Amino acid sequence: MKIAIILGTRPEIIKMSPLIRECEKLGIDHYILHTGQHYSFEMDKVFFDDLKLPVPRYNLDVGSGTHGQQTGRMLQGIEEVLIKDRPDVLLVQGDTNTVLAGALAGSKLNIRIGHVEAGLRSFDRTMPEEINRIIADHISDYLFAPTENSKEYLLAEGIPKEKIFVTGNTVVDAVYQNLEISKQTRHTLSKLNLKEGEYFLTTVHRAENTDKKERLSRILAGFEQIYQTFRLPIIFPAHPRTVKMIKEFDLEIPEGTKIINPVGYLDFLQLEGGAKLILTDSGGLQEEGCILGVPCVTLRDNTERPETVDVGANIIAGMNGNIAKFVERMTASGISWDNPYGSGDAAKLTIDRIIGCQIYR
């Protein structure tokens, strides 16, 4: 059996890393195809090096562009690779344009598709990610749902139950495995003069927040209120595009908010684990905070990670409320929860299912 693992963004590298390690452990013939959706492989190479992952066999370097341009270039490049180096199964993860292009290419070539992290729904079709994940789910052969909740969404859309497997989320595997690597190689908090539990961590990168002056302004105003209330710094590893939009909108960085350059994943894991609370519009960080036991306030109007809200690890702030009030509520003493995403064996369960399905086809 041969497995193709298709990825193109850093979150995909992180969440696919346990699957790659499981293939290596079992000696399964596999290869990695990197689309270059966010960065070229040369820029992502440090990620592969830090996580001790093999170099991708194929690199498309598609770069940025409109959704149509980017998806089209990836679809063409992935198809060419799959024709030349045909796998029995291809794996995609999540909801990016890479996922859409990979699933479409495999489907057209009658290659069996496994969608890792299937069944997530925000029920907001204005989000490109929602369209990508719905299409990928409906053309995949194996749907690896992280939770029972995700499984129920898939069943409600008419997807046969025989295709759905609840495995937990590979992000749990990734956090546990990569945090161990991080502890051996990084001293992030001391380098930034931070003490555990004495800072907030934030990321803001989604277009719905960064491209609208009113929303971005409200978020920064919320940071100012948080600092006035807690007198703790807000550490903001800011994406260059977010910084660009702050300047374009002529917005000021509030007192107490410290913008730093983006950091590597291993450093970021330590920043997450040591934070008093995370403020983010990232789906992945909602999960990671939940796994690490760090409360989260989501700077969006909805989430495709409702399990984090259900267990009390996360709250949706939206843009009409007082962000600082949500932070006060989430930092109240005694908050604890059980991680709903599994025990860290999602990669093993996923690969076991693929092997079993291939044997009994």
Task: Specify whether 15 is located in the same domain as 157.
Answer: yes
The pLDDT value given to residue 42: 66
d(CA 73, CA 145): 28
The pLDDT value given to residue 157: 98
At residue 290, what is the residue type?
C
Task: Specify whether 24 is located in the same domain as 111.
Answer: yes
- Tokens (6 digits) for 144: 């690896």
Q: Does some domain include residue 242? A: yes
Q: Does some domain include residue 174? A: no
Task: Specify whether 214 is located in the same domain as 315.
Answer: yes
CATH of the domain at 90: 3.40.50.2000
Q: Does some domain include residue 212? A: yes
- Residue 260's contacts (CB-CB under 8 Å, 6 or more residues apart) are 192, 235, 236, 237, 238
Domain total in the chain: 2
Task: Specify whether 191 is located in the same domain as 324.
Answer: yes
Each residue's pLDDT tens digit, 44-68? 788 888 899 999 999 999 887 888 9
Which residues of the chain, if any, have pLDDT below 50?
360
Catalytic residue among 30, 187, 205, 239: 205
Q: Does some domain include residue 337? A: no
pTM: 0.85
Active site residue 205: yes
- Residue 50's contacts (CB-CB under 8 Å, 6 or more residues apart) are 181, 185, 264, 265, 266
Task: Specify whether 192 is located in the same domain as 277.
Answer: yes
Task: Specify whether 49 is located in the same domain as 79.
Answer: yes
Q: What is the domain extent for residue 42?
A: 2-169+343-359
Each residue's pLDDT tens digit, 106-149? 999 999 999 999 999 999 998 899 999 999 999 999 999 999 99
The pLDDT value given to residue 38: 73
Q: Does some domain include residue 186? A: yes
Handedness of CA 85, 91, 92, 93 (dihedral sign): negative
Task: Specify whether 16 is located in the same domain as 163.
Answer: yes
Q: Does some domain include residue 19? A: yes
Task: Specify whether 190 is located in the same domain as 141.
Answer: no
